[in-house]
């Protein structure tokens, strides 16, 4: 049995508003805020985007306010604090990053350096479903192989890979990081009762980020893969774990608010039980759903059930089912 | 108990010889390279004309100039591993990959490989750069056997010549490109069984070996060499004692960093040349692909009952080992 002892998140300070993007991006047939987003967290300044439109992604290294590792460090420190443990207590670091500043060493090792820890650290990476991958992997491990405390982190600065010339991507993506402290030996605020992770490599080309180029997401990715897969997995989580849709809290993958509101409606989840922050910070891929969980950490009530869904590049998707153990 | 059922390799075709590097006029010579690191040749995905004319000053251009991609190398290695294991790629239920030079940062390299191979199972990256073989075996060993699919495809591929600054005499002489793949099963016996695995890291020293996303490979050469020799010797000594390894019949494979470093290790542990397998002299350092590729290249020579110790080190800084035993 795995428990979540603490959660943390971090965003850069900068925000990109609809009104700013409307003045920079060629909209074509799309329109401002089409995914229900009003502003996005970004490591890039409005001045840089207005001037360069991020046509040369390597320039972002010089102008970004934070690196992905800066964000994951802040999220990690917050997660450790909320778990009430110190970095020295950790026995394993797992991480994922979709926009690495370096392709070697791994993001987990860079986080380990910031924490000054000499412990096993490596990346377990699936673009947007890192947390579902990390948790489902740990649930599949022999108990004796799981250290007392495991850090699971995901970070990314997707805005550094967006072309601000045209299209909907400038309106969708934001930057951020999230982290969870997991334990199989100590009881935490959330008990993990189930998790799943799937990939569909046949559709990998729907959503990609070039090492030296821009992010591309097919207009079909949301309607043909992300939305139906999210709904299918959410229904599976509910059925498999006999969850009450009237009371469960749902955190969607944070890719499109209108689309996920429709999923919630079809499944029977009420708007007040559908948690999201996409409208305020944009989609930061793997980190996004856990940033939502982290924002609600202080208000969790004993006995609550939360389903956290993930979906994105890979194509990959998953879910984690949590049950709150204390008020 | 994990088994390895088959292994495969793939290498590009461009030779980068010591004479070529000497002719770049960057302050090194054929003799110096041979004496210092013992590498005679490297295989690269880059056309030799590109290296000569540009010195790869902009790695971004290398991706466009390359004769093949890192994923293509991984696919070819995977096909050979499947063939040797007697399975089809469609039988694979999980792909784990280690790639330090991906063409895309999303999706993961494992997902790109799975797409090309028509694999419908799960796919994700398990990444640590050079000690990939130890990490992948140790990672899979952590699973409850029933949680693993019948066949797992592990791949480690790298094209670090595309991140070498060919005005840098040290880096120019080290790197080659390649891929290794192996099929692991907890349910089906194979030619090799895993009897011990270990992996750990010291992230406080992770800046010692770096590949900048928009730049070149760079390392603290002396510190990394000292660390690599010392850590590998420790790993070998520990397992010698624990498993009574017999270097008159058992085999040692180290991280394929360079020949002189490997010689320091084998001299220290008194491992004879005939029981030391390596490929770095003819291919260069292939990062995480080097050690498993060496094992794959000797696949048909493995003797029944023979034990093979793969001890690997590298970026992270990280290190680990996998001790294998051939079926009788």
pLDDT above 90 covers what percent of chain A?
A: 90
What lies within 8 Å, CB to CB, of B191 at 6+ separation is B3, B4, B5, B6, B299, B302, B326, B327
Q: Do A104 and B209 touch (CB under 8 A)?
A: yes
CB contact under 8 A, B111 and A204: yes
The reply to whether residue A124 touches residue B124, judged by beta carbons under 8 angstroms, is: yes
Which positions ≥6 away from A228 have C-beta within 8 Å? none
Tally of residues, chain A? 327
Distance in Å, alpha carbon of B94 to nearest chain A alpha carbon: 10
Quote the CA–CA distance of A107 and A124 in Å, as a whole number: 10
pLDDT at A28: 64
A residues 30-89 closer than 8 Å to B (CB): 58, 61
Interface pTM (ipTM) of the complex? 0.94
Q: Do B126 and A113 touch (CB under 8 A)?
A: no
Among the partner-chain residues B129, B141, B204, the one whose CB lies closest to the CB of A118 is B204
Q: Is A95 exposed, middle or buried (0-12, 13-18, 19+ CB in 10 A)?
A: buried
Q: What stretches of A60-210 show up as alpha helix (H) in DSSP? A: 60-63, 68-83, 107-115, 130-140, 169-172
Cβ within 8 Å, pair B211-A103: yes
pLDDT for A327: 43
- Helix (H) or strand (E) holding A40, with range, is strand A39-42
Indicate yes or no: CB of A201 within 8 angstroms of CB of B112: yes
- Choose among A122, A204, A316: nearest Cβ to B135: A122
Give buried/exposed letters for B242-278 (b at 16+ CB in 10 A, else e): eeebebeebbbbbbbbbbebbbbbbeebebeeebbbb
A20-29, A36-45, B289-298: least confidently modelled range:
A20-29
* Contacts across the A-B interface (CB distance below 8 Å): 193
> Which alpha helices (DSSP H) does B175-270 contain, by range?
221-243, 259-269
pLDDT in tens, A170-226: 999 999 999 999 999 999 999 999 999 999 999 999 999 999 999 999 988 999 999
Q: Cα(A176)–Cα(A158) distance, rounded to whole angstroms?
A: 9
* pTM of the predicted model as reported, rounded to 2 decimal places: 0.96
Task: Give me the pLDDT at residue A34, please.
Answer: 61
Q: Give me the domains of chain B, ranges plus CATH numbers.
A: 3-185 (3.40.47.10), 192-326 (3.40.47.10)
Of B101, B105, B115, which has the smallest distance from its Cβ to A201's Cβ?
B115
pLDDT in tens, A279-319: 999 999 999 999 999 999 999 999 999 999 999 998 999 99
| Residue of higher predicted confidence among B125 and A26 | B125
Q: Are B26 and B167 in contact (CB under 8 A)?
A: yes
Contact A207 B199 (CB under 8 A): no
Burial class (CB in 10 A: 0-12, 13-18, 19+), A273: middle
Question: From the first residue on, what is the mean pLDDT of each consecutive set of 10 residues in chain B (328 residues)?
Answer: 98 97 95 95 97 94 95 98 98 97 94 96 93 97 97 97 94 96 97 97 91 88 90 97 96 96 97 97 96 98 97 94 96
Which domains can be identified in chain A, with CATH numbers?
2-183 (3.40.47.10), 190-324 (3.40.47.10)
Q: Which two tokens stand for residue B304?
A: 């029944």
- Contact assignment for A112 to B204 by CB distance below 8 Å: yes
pLDDT at position A36:
82
Residue A145: list chain B partners with CB under 8 A.
141-142
Would you call B204 and A113 a contact, using CB atoms and an 8 Å cutoff?
yes
Task: Tell me which of B57, B97, B107 to substitute to probe the interface with A (most A C-beta atoms closer than 10 Å).
Answer: B107
Interchain contact, B128 vs A123, CB within 8 Å: yes
| Chain B contacts in chain A segment 159-178 (CB below 8 A) | 161
Q: Residue A247: pLDDT above 90?
A: yes
Helix (H, G, I), strand (E, B) or coil at A196: strand
B168 to chain A nearest CA, in Å? 19
Quote the pLDDT of residue A29: 59
**pLDDT the model gives residue B303:** 95
Q: Which two tokens stand for residue B201?
A: 């890291």
Q: What is the pLDDT of residue B274?
A: 96
Instruction: At A198, list the tokens.
Output: 């799937």
Task: Answer whether A18's CB lies under 8 Å from A39's CB.
Answer: yes
| DSSP string across A198-262 | EE-GGGGGGEEEETTS-EEE-THIIIIIIHHHHHHHHHHHHHHTT--TTT-EEE--SS-HHHHHH
Q: State how far residue A327 is from chain B, nearest Cα, in angstroms.
A: 33
Determine the pLDDT at residue B70.
97
Out of B126, B201, B217, whose CB is closest to A109?
B201
- Cβ count within 10 A of residue B91: 17
Residue-wise pLDDT for A88-118, tens only, equals 999 999 999 999 999 999 999 999 999 999 9
Contact B143 A140 (CB under 8 A): yes
For residue range A253-274, list pLDDT tens digits in order: 999 999 999 999 999 999 999 9
The greatest distance separating any two alpha carbons of chain A, rounded to the nearest whole angstrom, comes to: 56
| Rounded Cα distance, B15 and A70, in Å | 40
pLDDT in tens, B226-280: 999 999 999 999 999 999 999 999 999 999 999 999 999 999 999 999 999 999 9
């Amino acid at each position: 049995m795995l428990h979540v002892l603490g959660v943390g998140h971090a965003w850069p300070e900068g925000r990109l508003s609809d009104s700013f993007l409307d003045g920079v991006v060629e909209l074509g047939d799309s329109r401002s805020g089409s995914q229900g987003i009003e502003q996005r967290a970004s490591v890039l300044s409005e001045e840089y985007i207005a001037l360069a439109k991020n046509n040369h992604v390597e320039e972002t290294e010089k102008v970004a306010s934070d690196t992905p590792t800066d964000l994951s460090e802040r999220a990690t420190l917050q997660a450790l604090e909320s778990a009430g443990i110190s970095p020295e207590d950790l026995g394993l670091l797992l991480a994922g990053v979709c926009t690495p500043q370096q392709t070697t060493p791994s993001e987990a090792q860079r986080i380990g350096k910031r924490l000054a820890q000499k412990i096993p650290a490596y990346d377990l990476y699936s673009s947007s479903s890192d947390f579902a991958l990390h948790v489902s992997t740990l649930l599949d491990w022999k108990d004796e192989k799981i250290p007392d405390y495991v850090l699971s982190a995901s970070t990314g600065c997707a805005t550094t890979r967006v072309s601000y010339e045209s299209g909907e991507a400038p309106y969708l993506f934001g930057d951020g990081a999230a982290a969870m402290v997991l334990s199989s030996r100590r009881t935490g605020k959330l008990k993990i009762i189930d998790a799943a992770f799937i990939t569909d490599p046949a559709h990998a080309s729907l959503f990609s980020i070039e090492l030296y180029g821009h992010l591309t997401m097919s207009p079909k990715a949301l309607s043909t893969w992300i939305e139906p897969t999210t709904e299918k997995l959410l229904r599976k989580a509910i059925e498999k774990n006999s969850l009450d849709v009237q009371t469960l809290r749902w955190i969607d993958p944070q890719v499109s608010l209108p689309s996920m509101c429709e999923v919630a409606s079809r499944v029977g989840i009420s708007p007040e039980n559908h948690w999201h922050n996409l409208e305020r910070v944009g989609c930061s891929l793997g980190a996004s759903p856990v940033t939502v969980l982290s924002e609600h950490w202080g208000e969790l009530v004993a006995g609550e059930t939360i389903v956290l869904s993930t979906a994105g590049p890979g194509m990959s998707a998953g879910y984690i089912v949590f049950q709150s153990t204390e008020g | 108990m994990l088994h390895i059922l088959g292994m495969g390799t793939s290498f590009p075709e461009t030779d980068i010889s010591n004479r070529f590097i000497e002719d770049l006029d960057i302050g090194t010579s054929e003799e110096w390279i041979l004496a210092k690191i013992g590498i005679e040749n490297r295989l690269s995905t880059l056309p030799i004309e590109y290296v000569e004319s540009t010195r790869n000053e902009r790695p971004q251009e290398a991706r466009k100039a390359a004769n093949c991609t890192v994923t293509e190398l991984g696919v070819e290695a995977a096909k050979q591993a499947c063939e040797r294991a007697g399975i089809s790629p469609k039988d694979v239920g999980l792909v784990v990959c280690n790639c330090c030079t991906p063409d895309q940062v999303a999706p993961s390299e494992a997902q790109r490989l799975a797409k090309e191979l028509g694999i419908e199972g799960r796919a994700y990256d398990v990444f640590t750069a050079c000690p990939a073989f130890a990490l992948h075996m140790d990672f899979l060993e952590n699973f409850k056997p029933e949680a693993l699919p019948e066949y797992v495809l592990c791949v480690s591929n790298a094209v670090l010549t595309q991140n070498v600054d060919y005005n840098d005499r040290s880096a120019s002489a080290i790197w080659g490109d390649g891929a290794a793949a192996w099929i692991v099963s907890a349910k089906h016996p194979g030619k090799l069984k895993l009897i011990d695995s270990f992996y750990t890291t010291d992230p406080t020293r992770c800046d010692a070996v770096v590949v900048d996303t928009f730049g070149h490979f760079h390392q603290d050469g002396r510190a990394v060499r000292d660390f690599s020799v010392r850590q590998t010797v420790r790993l070998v000594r520990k397992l010698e004692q624990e498993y009574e390894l017999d270097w008159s019949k058992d085999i040692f494979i180290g991280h394929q960093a360079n020949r002189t470093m490997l010689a320091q290790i084998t001299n220290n542990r008194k491992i004879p040349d005939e029981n030391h397998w390596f490929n770095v002299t003819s291919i260069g350092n292939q990062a995480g692909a080097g050690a498993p590729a060496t094992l794959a290249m000797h696949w048909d020579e493995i003797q029944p009952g023979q034990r093979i110790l793969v001890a690997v080190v590298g970026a992270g800084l990280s290190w680990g080992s996998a001790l294998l035993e051939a079926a009788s």
